């Protein structure tokens, strides 16, 4: 037991020494205007590379992805219907659908499902 503890401490010390050495030896890069600007075939950019987008659209997309993944989890449940106990299947399915409906109700209360404000 003492040998394992000793080897563990030696490995931790060696790995920490290597991390410190790599931080000291690593090449420092100073950012300037040319390096931080987007590359457009050697020309100066005509407009900002970061265009604003609708946060509401992003939230709708996240909601869609969450419910899409949950639908992908519902499909295997239909295949398990004949293989499991009916009561356990119904309890699990009911719990899953209640969580889905509570999430949908919460999104509806927060007005995330409205396209216009």
77-117, pLDDT tens digit by residue? 888 778 888 888 889 889 988 988 888 888 888 877 776 65
Whether 30 is covered by a domain: the verdict is: no
| Predicted local confidence at residue 53, as pLDDT | 72
Report which of 115, 110, 114, 107 is spatially closest to residue 70, judged by C-alpha positions. Answer: 107
Q: Which residue has the tokens 């909601």?
A: 63
Domain that residue 80 falls in = 55-109
Whether 44 is covered by a domain: the verdict is: no
Whether 21 is covered by a domain: the verdict is: no
Does the pLDDT of residue 71 top 70, yes or no?
Answer: yes
pTM for this prediction? 0.46
> Structurally, how many domains does the chain consist of?
1
User: Which residue blocks in the chain are alpha helix, DSSP H?
Assistant: 2-25, 33-36, 55-79, 86-109
Q: What token pair was written down for 34? A: 């040319």
pLDDT level of residue 10 (50, 70, 90 thresholds): very high
Whether 99 is covered by a domain: the verdict is: yes
How many C-beta atoms surround the C-beta of residue 102 within 10 A?
10
Whether 28 is covered by a domain: the verdict is: no
């Amino acid at each position: 037991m003492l040998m394992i503890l000793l080897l563990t401490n030696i490995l931790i010390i060696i790995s920490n020494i290597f991390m410190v050495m790599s931080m000291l030896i690593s090449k420092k890069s100073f950012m300037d205007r040319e390096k931080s600007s987007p590359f457009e075939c050697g020309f100066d950019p005509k407009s900002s590379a970061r265009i604003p987008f609708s946060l509401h659209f992003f939230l709708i997309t996240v909601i869609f992805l969450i419910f899409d993944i949950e639908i992908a989890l519902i499909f295997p449940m239909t295949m398990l219907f004949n293989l499991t106990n009916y009561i356990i299947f119904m309890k699990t399915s009911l719990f899953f659908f209640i969580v889905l409906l509570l999430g949908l109700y919460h999104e509806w209360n927060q007005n995330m499902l409205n396209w216009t404000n």
